[in-house]
Structure 1
Amino acid sequence: MKPMEELAESLHLNSHLSLQDIPDINLYMDQVIQLFERQFAETKRNDDEKVLTKTMINNYAKGKLFFPIENKKYTKDHLILISMIYQMKGALSISDVKTTLGRLNEKVTDDAAFDLQAFYDCYLQMVENSAEKFKADLNSQSDELIESIQKLDDQDEDYLEQLLLIALFTNMSNYYRRAAEKMVDDISTNQNSF
């Protein structure tokens, strides 16, 4: 089995779209797709997987997941929102992503004092902190699991370690997804009470 440090490295946890990666000029759709493909290429499971497509962006726009573009160009704020959509859609439904980002879109378009870039920078800092915690947790879980598996005294130890880690990781992923869904429901309930 791969050592946990090697697994963590292969996940490219630090792959994200930083503010420095986003040009100060507005971009056409093809340029947006190229930027995302370049930034997230290492996170793809295989070469055939697409990070972002025209269809995806058009669906996000039609679904009002981000505020309307002007002159077929995407601003830095659009790219920030698309980046957040990209991250969230791995765990949440598009409907949940829309609910989550709805008020943020309103703040961007209606509140001149709101600084989306500062908010996104805060988000990216939290992402980096979470990646470090995740790496430490990987090692801790693996050590605990190896100790438990060795007690079974089975010839297929490597497979059983992988199976248990996969089951554990999917279980933890479900905990986080369910927690996020509960919070989306809270946002939805609060929006409906206005």
Structure 2
Amino acid sequence: MDKINELIETLNLENHLTIEEMPDLDLYMDQIIQIFESKFSSSKRDEDEKILTKTMINNYAKGKLFFPIKNKKYSKEHLILISLIYQMKGALSIKDIKVALNKVNEKITEDDFNIDNLYNSYLYLSEQNRGRFVEDIQESANEVSRQVSLLEDKDSNYLEQLLLVASLVNMSNYYRRAAEKIIDEIGNKKETT
């Protein structure tokens, strides 16, 4: 695939909401949505796609993915949790996200937990993952090209695209399944305590 570097550039992999971009004051739902729309609009697949909606936030609240809000306002802690939910929802079910975040929510409300430090660690790891991903996708594209050259077919460009898609989805499934197993462990620990 000749255009793999162009593809990587269009992914906006460095696009994360940082602690510095989060206001220290409580916000209304519309303000939260506006922050997410402005930050992640370049990640949209098409113009009609919604990054975050009132319905999504209400569903997260009803599903208890984050601790209750006060006076219809969301704190910085809520914003961090919504950002984590936004990142996880592409691969995990709402049920799994709830299990993953349940103890963090408890720690915030009961222990005065500093979620900023946890979120900064997540951002650091995301940056490290981005570097590994770029190297891995370039290596995968090269391997796909080698495999397609063995096929000696006139539709080699299409076959490269198809095999790369299948390979990337395969890797995505491995990562998702590993995350689900870890969530199962988190859920089992909660049931036994």
Query: Do they fold alike, i.e. is TM over 0.5?
Result: yes
1:37 pairs with 2:37 = yes
In the alignment, which residue of structure 1 is the partner of 2:7?
7
Counterpart code for 1:121: N
In the alignment, which residue of structure 1 is the partner of 2:74?
74
In the alignment, which residue of structure 1 is the partner of 2:104?
104
In the alignment, which residue of structure 2 is the partner of 1:85?
85
1:36 and 1:55 map into 2 onto residues whose CA distance is 14
In the alignment, which residue of structure 2 is the partner of 1:46?
46
- C-alpha displacement at 1:2, in angstroms? 5.2
1:148 and 1:2 map into 2 onto residues whose CA distance is 15
- C-alpha displacement at 1:60, in angstroms? 0.6
Q: Which runs of 4+ in 1 moved over 6 A?
A: none
Alignment of 1:23-172 (within 5 A): 23-112=23-112, 114-172=113-171
1:58 and 1:130 map into 2 onto residues whose CA distance is 31
- How many residues get paired? 193
2:57 and 2:77 map into 1 onto residues whose CA distance is 14
Counterpart code for 2:190: Q
Q: TM (normalized to structure 1)?
A: 0.97
Higher mean Cα deviation, 131-140 or 143-152? 143-152
- Identical residues among aligned pairs (%): 54
CA offsets, 1:156-194, max 9 Å, x none? 000000000000001001001100111111011000001
SS in 2 for 1:105: helix
Counterpart code for 2:44: K
1:132 and 1:151 map into 2 onto residues whose CA distance is 30
Counterpart code for 1:69: I
CA offsets, 1:121-159, max 9 Å, x none? 000000011011100101111111111211211100000
1:2 and 1:12 map into 2 onto residues whose CA distance is 19
* Structure 1 stretches lacking a partner, 5+ long: none
1:170 and 1:86 map into 2 onto residues whose CA distance is 20
In the alignment, which residue of structure 1 is the partner of 2:181?
182
1:177 and 1:167 map into 2 onto residues whose CA distance is 15
2:128 and 2:174 map into 1 onto residues whose CA distance is 19
* Aligned-CA RMSD value: 0.9
Counterpart code for 1:160: L
